[in-house]
Structure 1
Amino acid sequence: MNNTNFEPMPPVEETSQTGEQTTVPEYTRQPRRDKMPRPAQPKVRRVGFFTLGIALILTGGCIAASLVLKDFPLLTVAKLAPLVLVALGVEVLWANARKGDAQLKYDLLSMFVCFVLICASMCAATVPILLRYYGPEREYTERRLEQELEQQVHEKLPAGSVLDGYSYVDLNRMEFDKNMTLADLKTEDTVRLNLTLAGTYADENAFAEACAQLLPTLRELGVDEVDFRSENGDDQWELQIGGVFQMNSGAQELAGQVTHMVRYWEDDEYSWWEKEALDTYLAQKAQNDQQEPQPEEDSVENTLEESVEINTEEATVVENG
């Protein structure tokens, strides 16, 4: 077995000397960059927000008060809705006077809400007016006055002078009392009667005389317009008057306004004609009838002879068959 001689390695000398420390590179922090100063922004003053708050408070308070208090004048308050615009204008002037370095910014949303409140308030103020003018209270009052008028006409006119009648009462004004009577009617109100008179009348003068006798009583009841009518057999009389002058006219003045209608039958149907118009129509019709050609007697006889010959020929054919 061969012995291999290994030479020992020289000892490693320590390079580090006692007391010396290993130097480690240190991290050096970079100085922080200072931020760029932002430019100073002007102050912003919003215009319209204060007015919106006041409008909301007042609107809500008025609506709540109208629900609690029965006699709260909500209609009067609604008429004052344009004062919101006055308040908004005052706020704009006040903000412009005190803005200084501040920049004014108009709050469009607040202004829009104020505009909506104004429109809603105006509508709320208009609706009661429309209900007052076209509502059920007015109609009920008019119908009640009509019944009262018809009852008084029936009581005050001579018995048997009127066969039938009905009335119209129009309250042509905004304010009225639902408990009013005929005595409370004013000149702007309209009262109209439609009366069917009894009896027979020989001519226009007789009918006008009957109508004139009833006018004083109708004037006392406040009637402004009257439609008189009478029908007897084939005659019909009509008289329509209205206004102060005609209501105070006599029989002679009224006779010229009477309309005389005549019933005319034709083809089992009738229609009403004025006397002069009917006379003209009948004369024209008679003239047209005279102008139409009449069938000649010879043509009639020839037709009869031809029909006899045809019947004879048919009889002969039957016998031969």
Structure 2
Amino acid sequence: MDEQNKTVQPEAAAAPESRPLKKPAPAKDEAPRRRVGSFTLGISLIAAGILFLCYYFVPGFDWQLVLKVAPAAGLVLLGGEVLWFASHPGRWKYDFVSVLVCLLLMGVCLCMGFVPLIAEQYGPERQQTANRLSQTYTDTLYQDLKAEAPDVQLEDVYTDLYLYTSTVQDLADLEPGDGNLRLTVTLFGPYASADDFAKDCRTVADVIQKQAVQPNAVTFRCDAPLPADSTVRENLDSASAPQTQDYLLEVFGTTQLDWTAEQMARQTEVSGLLDEENTDSDEAEEAAETEDAEETEAPSSMDGSGLSGTRSD
């Protein structure tokens, strides 16, 4: 018996055969989860691509309306995604990357909301409309001035219209808050005094007040040309002073546009060029006299030095 036990004992003590280990099944908590904001980001990228295709291939596609609606739609979609995953715990992840994606999406939506406003302010359509309306206003005013004020000599009529919105397409639709209309009227001279200049300004203002749209500011000016001959410019006397005077008058609003000719004359700025020309000519003459004096003194000093050298010999 003892021998049998001794023979069995080694067989019983033999090590069992090794078997391959099985990988533990993943726990439910370790299952891959989706980050909040990834779904909205994917939808936004797809929508952006579709909108670009529509812009290039769909005639009459209103991209400004899409840019106005897209930011609101993106924020609503992002908020719906957050609420959906908040109601299904265990299937979503809201970590630092998720917060960063959500902030990125909100920033893009807010920036897209400003694009239509910038397009309205600096878009080519608004500028083209402003140029067209300015030219129409200038032509209409010029024809009225020729018909109602033929005695006033006009040098130039310039209209500057800045539109705040691109919805205005006609002058009749222009409201006071839709833009800023400035008018510059340059008159031919010469004028003997500011009173004569103000009388023509009052005549032009009467025609301006009859227009359908009133300007925010009007600038009246008269830039008298200088004589081309320099000798004539140097010999100007007091009788020709009105030919070398500039007149400038600026009125703002309808109140100042109602000023009388006397009030306009008092507000007219007169800059005389006669004194400036005379001052320049005097300075030139003094400089020429100084040069002549230096040239005459230079030879005499040289002669003196030569004599002194002779005497020393």
Using the size of structure 1 for normalisation, the TM-score is 0.63
CA distance in structure 1 between the partners assigned to 2:221 and 2:111 by the alignment: 47
Q: Indicate conservation of the 8 Å contact 1:55/1:84, yes or no.
A: no
Residues 22-71 of structure 1 show CA distances to partners (whole Å, capped at 9, x for unaligned) of x69536234799x9xx9x96725887636532452355236415633524
d(CA) in 1 for partners of 2:203 and 2:31?
Answer: 82
CA distance in 2, matches of 1:231, 1:51: 66
Question: Is 1:181 equivalent to 2:170 in the alignment?
Answer: yes
Residue 76 of structure 2 is aligned with which of 73, 83, 86?
Answer: 83
Larger strand percent: 1
Structure 2 CA distance for partners of 1:116 and 1:269, relative to 1, 3 Å:
farther
- Alignment of 1:161 with 2:171, yes or no, is no
Give the corresponding residue for 1:205: 195
Moved more, 111-120 or 141-150: 111-120
- C-alpha separation in 1, matches of 2:282 and 2:109: 61
1:78-157 correspondence runs (5 A): 78-80=70-72, 81-91=74-84, 93-95=86-88, 99=89, 105-157=93-145
Structure 2 unmatched runs, 5+: 1-6, 225-242, 284-299
Gaps of 5+ in 1: 1-22, 271-306
Any conservation in 1 of the 2:156–2:186 contact (CA below 8 Å)?
Answer: yes
After superposition, where does 1:1-80 map in structure 2 within 5 Å?
26=11, 28-30=13-15, 43=29, 49=35, 51-57=37-43, 59-61=45-47, 63-65=49-51, 67-68=53-54, 70-71=61-62, 73-80=65-72
User: Which shows bigger deviation, 208-217 or 84-93?
Assistant: 84-93
The answer to which structure has the higher helix fraction is 2
Q: Please state whether the residue corresponding to 1:214 is helix, strand or coil.
A: helix
Q: Which among 237, 249, 256 is matched to residue 239 of structure 1?
A: 249
The question of whether the paired residues in 1 share the 8 Å contact of 2:36 and 2:94 is answered with no
Q: Distance in 1 between matches of 2:248 and 2:175?
A: 28
Offset of residue 225 of structure 1: 1.0
Separation of aligned partners in 2, 1:103 and 1:236: 81
Query: What is the CA–CA distance in structure 2 between the aligned matches of 1:54 and 1:82, rounded to whole Å?
Result: 9
In structure 1, the residue corresponding to 2:87 is in which secondary structure?
Answer: helix
Residues in 1 aligned to 2:76 and 2:244: alpha-carbon distance in whole angstroms: 70
> What residue number does 2:237 align with?
none
Of the two structures, which has the highest relative contact order with CA contacts closer than 8 Å and spacing of 6 or more? 2
Letter in 2 for 1:193: L
Shift of 1:183: 2.2
Change (3 A) 1:151 1:83: same
Q: In the superposition, relative to structure 1, how do residues 117 and 223 fare at CA in structure 2: closer, same or farther (>3 Å)?
A: same
**Offset at residue 252 of structure 1 (A):** 2.5
CA distance, structure 2, for counterparts of residue 176 and residue 87 of structure 1: 35
Provide the residue aligned with 2:265 in structure 1: 255
* Letter of the 2:199 counterpart: E
Aligned CA distance change for structure 1 residues 138 and 103 (closer, same or farther; 3 Å):
closer
Q: Give 3-state SS (helix, strand or coil) of 2:267's partner.
A: coil
Q: Which amino acid aligns with 1:163?
A: E
Whether contact under 8 Å (2:159, 2:184) holds in the other structure is yes
Structure 1 residue 88: Cα displacement? 4.4
Output the amino acid matched with 1:61: A
Question: How many percent of aligned residue pairs carry the same amino acid?
Answer: 25
Change in CA separation of 1:45 and 1:108 when aligned onto 2, cut-off 3 Å: farther
Shift in alpha-carbon separation, 1:77–1:205, aligned structure 2, 3 A: same
What SS does the corresponding residue of 1:254 show, helix, strand or coil? helix
- More moved, 67-76 vs 151-160: 67-76
SS at match of 1:26: helix
Q: CA RMSD in A?
A: 4.0
Distance (Å, rounded) in 2 between the aligned partners of 1:103 and 1:149: 66
Contact 1:191 1:225 in 2 (8 A): yes
Secondary structure in 2 matching 1:43: helix
Whether 2:260 is the aligned partner of 1:267: answer no
Q: Give me the whole-angstrom Cα distance separating, in 2, the residues matched to 1:267 and 1:200.
A: 22
Q: Counterparts of 1:161 and 1:240 in 2: how far apart (Å)?
A: 19
